[in-house]
Structure 1
Amino acid sequence: MTIKSFNTRRRSLAALFACATLAGAALLGEARADAYPTRPITIVVAYPAGGDTDVLARLIADKLGTRLGQPVVVDNRSGAAGTIGTAYVSKARADGYTLLLAPNTIAITPHVLKGVAGASVDPATDLTSIVQLGTQSLFVVAASATGVTSVKDLVVKVKEGKITSYASPGNGSPMHILGELFDKSAGVKITQVPYRGSMPAVADMVGGQVPMMYSTLGPVAPHIKAGKLVPLAVADSKRSPFLPDVPTLAEQGYKGAEVGAWQALMGPRGMPVEQVQLLNRHVNEILKMPDVIARMEAIALAPAGGDPASLAKLVAGDYARYGKLVSEFGIKAE
């Protein structure tokens, strides 16, 4: 064998070894991607335990953990109107092991808390949309002690100065936005009394400290059933299947005050597409389970589902819409 032929053969063998190495690395990479998850996943909830978002997160985590073969734990990182938990997830590694389950408040608070450290997360660009979990209607609710039985009654009492305030679960919440839109539609001014969540707000309304509030159905349902609270209207384009006898605001002559709530599963920006698709598929299947539907209905949450692109479009649209409303009403952090 000549030196030239030996060198040629050596280069050929080296090339074959390099190709084999690259192919092996590619297969290993695919195996690692297919193996996700290989350790526990954390779902961050930016609110205290016990609320609708937390209840939903624990339901999804339980089912998802079973399907993925790894524990899925819920981590409550509350504070600063939900911005602490949201900011934490936005800065986490985009490896699929840190997720966020959040309501549409994440599309409002960045505008309300503009300039506040850690509150500048744009959910449309700083987070990865995975799947919309459900939708919730907002209701106008009054304490039975007020004697109010309709929105018309409410407006009359407001104009007479007999009702001057309403409770909300927080400044810049969807309920706060609804309050501003209702004031504009009805030509009145009802002062917001912000609380740190729905539960303390409901407790004070039942206790007689505030006469009314805007709320999702879950926190007020037991008190409506007990006759202590009265649902006056739903702020949707159509009646809620959970309270079909309650008319919409538009039906009662108050248009332009439609605000709803939704819950979604998201992750840090830049999550691998394969992981997003895997989680999306599993959660869509979870949302069809009869026991999951029943437990969601218990907190008046209608299952949604859908693909990541649909959620991304919803998030971007709400972020833009609420930005304009926050500016129009001059809503600021207190």
Structure 2
Amino acid sequence: MKSLRSLRVAVAVIPLLTQLALVPSVSAQDYPDHRITFVVPYPAGGAADAIGRLLAVKLSETWKQPVVVENKSGAGGIVGNDYVAKAPGDGYTVLIGISQLVQAPNVGTKLPYDVFSDLSPVTQAVLIAPLFAVPVQRSEKTMEEFVNAVRANPGKISYGSYGIGTTSHLYGELLKKKAGIDMTHVPYRGAAPLTNDLLGGQINAAFVEVATAAPQLSGGKIRGLAIGGEKRSPLLPEIPTLAEIGFAGFEAQGWIGVFVPAATPRDIVKKLDSELSRIIKSPETAEQIKRMNLVPVGDGAEAFATVLRQDFRRWGNIARESGVRVE
């Protein structure tokens, strides 16, 4: 009986072993040998989409394989992020993600994935500095003047954001706490409607991305009073950081980065990292990125992993101090 049982087990295992033998090994030596898909978890037309398409073109030219961009938007980026987190770890499904990945868990958003255990960082593509701006028709020329105006009119001056739990909302609430002021929060559904109302003066101020604000700044339609980040933006060197004018805690910046599923072999991650970082730092691509009013980075997987941990803590501190929660 024991021999018969052993024989049955062996017969049952043979098909499984045969299937495993037929599964091709995923190796950087053969990678890539077919189409790569860049998943952008937001609609076409935004900064993440523009960066994804730029990198897709450059990578395709280098590797002589098609690299296509698919926009899988929904739930503030969660749909596309989750799609990649659950994709095969073979290097052919790549996420063009943003700092929302480390912000969302800190404001109570329920997520079907974990950015640290389900995704592997490849490289940080760009930095996106948050700019505090007011309509040009307002009289304030400095952050101090604006804060004083709010103090003199508690609850009567509004600030807009891209929506509940976004960078602009977190920074707006943090500013209220740091400066001891009372502003009314007006959430919008994204950058376009927020910018339109800021230009028209329907709202009195907002934290807006430099990429969005730069054309309006150069056109004299809005005025930048301060900027987030550890140091001044090379795109707007004349505008002081919030830390410079006495408001610490605004060091975290927005970013766009490249990720793959966590199961992706390290040699494939390294190959993607090496090539994409080279592309981002190349003079031609870096100049194209700067023309989008973004700051090129391309420091690679290890540096990006450090940024993720650091920014996760920073946004956690900001969320706790500002009191922002997504219900």
Normalised TM-score (structure 1): 0.85
For residues 1-334 of structure 1, what are the structure 2 equivalents within 5 Å? 29=25, 33-115=28-110, 119-161=111-153, 164-333=157-326
Post-superposition offset of 1:120: 4.1
**Aligned partners of 2:90 and 2:265 also within 8 Å:** yes
Deviates more, 1:71-80 or 1:314-323: 314-323
Post-superposition offset of 1:296: 0.8
Mapped to 2, the partners of 1:273 and 1:155 lie a distance apart of 49
SS in 2 for 1:253: coil
Once the two structures are aligned, what percentage of the paired residues are identical?
Answer: 36
Question: Cα gap change, 1:79/1:189 in structure 2, threshold over 3 Å: closer, same or farther?
Answer: farther
User: How many residues are aligned here?
Assistant: 305
1:218-264 per-residue CA deviation (whole Å, 9 max, x = no partner) reads: 11111111211001011223222111111222222323333311211
RMSD: 2.1
1:19-70 per-residue CA deviation (whole Å, 9 max, x = no partner) reads: xxxxxx9xx858x642212221111111121111111111111101111211
Post-superposition offset of 1:77: 1.5
Q: What is the identity, as a one-letter code, of the residue corresponding to 1:52? A: A
**Aligned partners of 1:178 and 1:258 also within 8 Å:** no
Mapped to 1, the partners of 2:114 and 2:89 lie a distance apart of 16
Structure 2 residues without counterparts, runs of 5 or longer: 1-20
Post-superposition offset of 1:204: 1.6
Q: What is the identity, as a one-letter code, of the residue corresponding to 1:316? A: R
**Aligned partners of 2:41 and 2:72 also within 8 Å:** yes
Mapped to 2, the partners of 1:134 and 1:224 lie a distance apart of 20
SS in 1 for 2:129: strand
SS in 1 for 2:255: strand
**Aligned partners of 2:127 and 2:297 also within 8 Å:** yes
SS in 2 for 1:35: coil
Mapped to 1, the partners of 2:307 and 2:119 lie a distance apart of 13
**Aligned partners of 1:43 and 1:74 also within 8 Å:** yes
Post-superposition offset of 1:145: 1.7
Post-superposition offset of 1:297: 0.6
Question: Cα gap change, 1:315/1:244 in structure 2, threshold over 3 Å: closer, same or farther?
Answer: same
Normalised TM-score (structure 2): 0.87
**Aligned partners of 1:174 and 1:259 also within 8 Å:** no
**Aligned partners of 1:134 and 1:302 also within 8 Å:** yes
